[in-house]
Amino acid sequence: MPGVEGQRRYDLALFGATGFTGGLTASYLAAHAPEGMRWALVGRNRAKLDAVAARLKSEAPDATAPDILEADAADRGALRDVATATRVVITTVGPYALYGEPLVAACATAGTDYVDLTGEPEFVDRMWIEHHAEAERSGARLVHCCGFDSIPHDLGAYFTVKQLPEGVPLTVNGYVRSNASFSGGTYHSAINAFGRARQTMSAAKERRRLEQRPSGRSIHSAPARVRRDRQLGGWAVPLPTIDGPIVLRSAAALDRYGPEFTYGHNLLAKHLTSVGALAVGVGTGFTLAQLPPTRKLLLKMKSPGEGPSEAKREQSWFKVVFVGEGGGKRVVTEVSGGDPGYGETSKMLAESGLCLAFDDLPATSGQLTTAAAMGDALLERLQRAGISFRVIETSDPG
């Protein structure tokens, strides 16, 4: 964000620090921020924010203390004031389709960089439709999906592509494994997204109509099919999450993905029966979420502020294996880390904000993916922070 460093009061502002994942993000920032970082905690409840600040002081007594700013997620005037006062905004306040738009609008207008951890396709598409052009004009970088959705997949595919030859058609398939549980906030986002299937499809259709395709290059999704992969030791099941489209948008934005790029995004399961149980559970949730009375009952089952215990988080892990082929070369890579839903997500989100605030990045603006906005710089940050990106195998299939 050229030219604003000396004009704005803060380097970074965090919305949502009183929530579960937001609190972890605040702790990470306090422990890992560069010396002298000017930052603020933002929310509507001053007493709760003061309590978070006091906790941070006890956890990291030598860290720069954040200021406290009061602003409601629906107060556009207050959000505009925060956006114009800071260089980068991080937010964990969801479900984003219900609460997120005013802050995106404020950042797009003010030329303020923005990161969140949404995994809601409707919200991402709607924000592109409504605010991408304004962000391009103002110089703002709007980067959604900066948690487990979708950094390991987006940067993992990017890392894999970098191991393959340039200027040739490439195919990459990602395979996800994890033992983690999800938060109340993630649960609420999922149920609300299930209940907004019509709006989600409408936003996707409108974005496809408006969005310009890359000239002279083709980007494809791999055919969706359930299959046994003997080399990986499990069943590959296509995952209809936002991660696949995010990877394809990075491919559309970056020539390094080659003249033709194909990506498939999959869950890797040891047993087909577990896949069936998951499908039944998701299908039941989707069906019940279509009606307001049953959707309300589902939402009451889990509080938005709930999360697993620290002991459970310490036992959680994720691995994403990528198989890439092109130009006569085959490569297998792996992205892995600890608890994806909380510890690693808060780390990824915080490092994304710090990367935008302090690193030398490509001159970009508008709504961007993590690979397009931050690429190598964020990859290096995450590796230093303990998330593993490694090459497992390379070979010449010919």
Is the predicted pLDDT of residue 97 greater than 50, yes or no?
A: yes
Is the predicted pLDDT of residue 260 greater than 80, yes or no?
A: yes
Residue 230 confidence class, pLDDT cut points 50, 70, 90: confident
Same domain assignment for residues 172 and 92: no
- Of 111-115, 175-179, 308-312, the poorest mean pLDDT is in 308-312
Same domain assignment for residues 285 and 166: yes
Same domain assignment for residues 285 and 352: no
Is 192 part of any domain?
yes
Q: What is the rounded distance in angstroms from the CA atom of residue 207 to the CA atom of residue 364?
A: 20
Is the predicted pLDDT of residue 398 greater than 70, yes or no?
A: no
Same domain assignment for residues 191 and 305: yes
Q: For 53-64, what is the mean pLDDT?
A: 95
Q: For 312-330, what is the mean pLDDT?
A: 91
Same domain assignment for residues 139 and 156: no
Q: For 385-390, what is the mean pLDDT?
A: 97
Dihedral class, residue 306 (left if φ above 0, else alpha if ψ from -120 to 50, else beta): beta
- Of 8-17, 125-134, 292-301, 366-375, the poorest mean pLDDT is in 292-301
Number of domains in the chain: 2
Q: Is the dihedral of CA 234, 237, 242, 244 positive or negative?
A: positive
Is 3 part of any domain?
no
Is the predicted pLDDT of residue 45 greater than 80, yes or no?
A: yes
Q: What is the rounded distance in angstroms from the CA atom of residue 64 to the CA atom of residue 67?
A: 9
Is the predicted pLDDT of residue 280 greater than 70, yes or no?
A: no
Same domain assignment for residues 43 and 110: yes
Residue 290: its pLDDT value, please? 79
Same domain assignment for residues 201 and 174: yes
Residue 5: its pLDDT value, please? 47
Residue 31: its pLDDT value, please? 96
CB burial readout 327-365, b (16+ within 10 A) else e: eebbbbbbbbbbbbbbbbbbbbbbbbbbbbbbeebeeeb
Residue 296: its pLDDT value, please? 73
Question: What is the 3-state composition of the chain as percent helix, strand, coil, each rounded to the nearest 5?
Answer: 45, 25, 30
User: 193 versus 63: which is more confidently predicted?
Assistant: 63
Q: What is the rounded distance in angstroms from the CA atom of residue 26 to the CA atom of residue 347?
A: 10
Q: What six digits make up the tokens of 163?
A: 């191991």
Same domain assignment for residues 184 and 136: no
Is the predicted pLDDT of residue 359 greater than 70, yes or no?
A: yes
Residue 1: its pLDDT value, please? 43
pLDDT digits (tens, 9 = 90+) for 2-19: 334 458 999 999 999 999
Is 59 part of any domain?
yes
Question: According to the per-residue pLDDT averaged within each range, which of 104-118, 169-183, 193-207, 273-287 is highest?
Answer: 104-118
Residue 184: its pLDDT value, please? 59
Is 121 part of any domain?
yes
Is the predicted pLDDT of residue 26 greater than 50, yes or no?
A: yes
Same domain assignment for residues 180 and 128: no
Same domain assignment for residues 335 and 230: yes
Residue 342: its pLDDT value, please? 82
Is 5 part of any domain?
no
Q: What is the rounded distance in angstroms from the CA atom of residue 2 to the CA atom of residue 12?
A: 15
* Contact between 353 and 12 (Cβ < 8 Å): yes
Is 135 part of any domain?
yes
- Of 36-45, 49-58, 336-345, the poorest mean pLDDT is in 336-345
What pTM was estimated for this model as a whole? 0.91
Is 1 part of any domain?
no
Question: pLDDT over 70 for what percent of the chain?
Answer: 88
**CATH number of the domain bearing residue 112:** 3.40.50.720
Summary mean pLDDT of the chain = 90
Same domain assignment for residues 270 and 122: no
Per the DSSP assignment, residues forming a β-bridge with 237 are: 267
Residue whose C-alpha is closest to residue 134's, from 114, 103, 106, 99: 106
Residue 217: its pLDDT value, please? 97
pLDDT digits (tens, 9 = 90+) for 366-382: 999 999 999 999 999 99
User: 229 versus 106: which is more confidently predicted?
Assistant: 106
Same domain assignment for residues 123 and 225: no
Which domain range does residue 92 map to? 10-147+344-382
Question: pLDDT over 90 for what percent of the chain?
Answer: 70
Is 320 part of any domain?
yes
CB burial readout 95-120, b (16+ within 10 A) else e: bbbebbbbbbbbbbbbbbbbbbbbbb
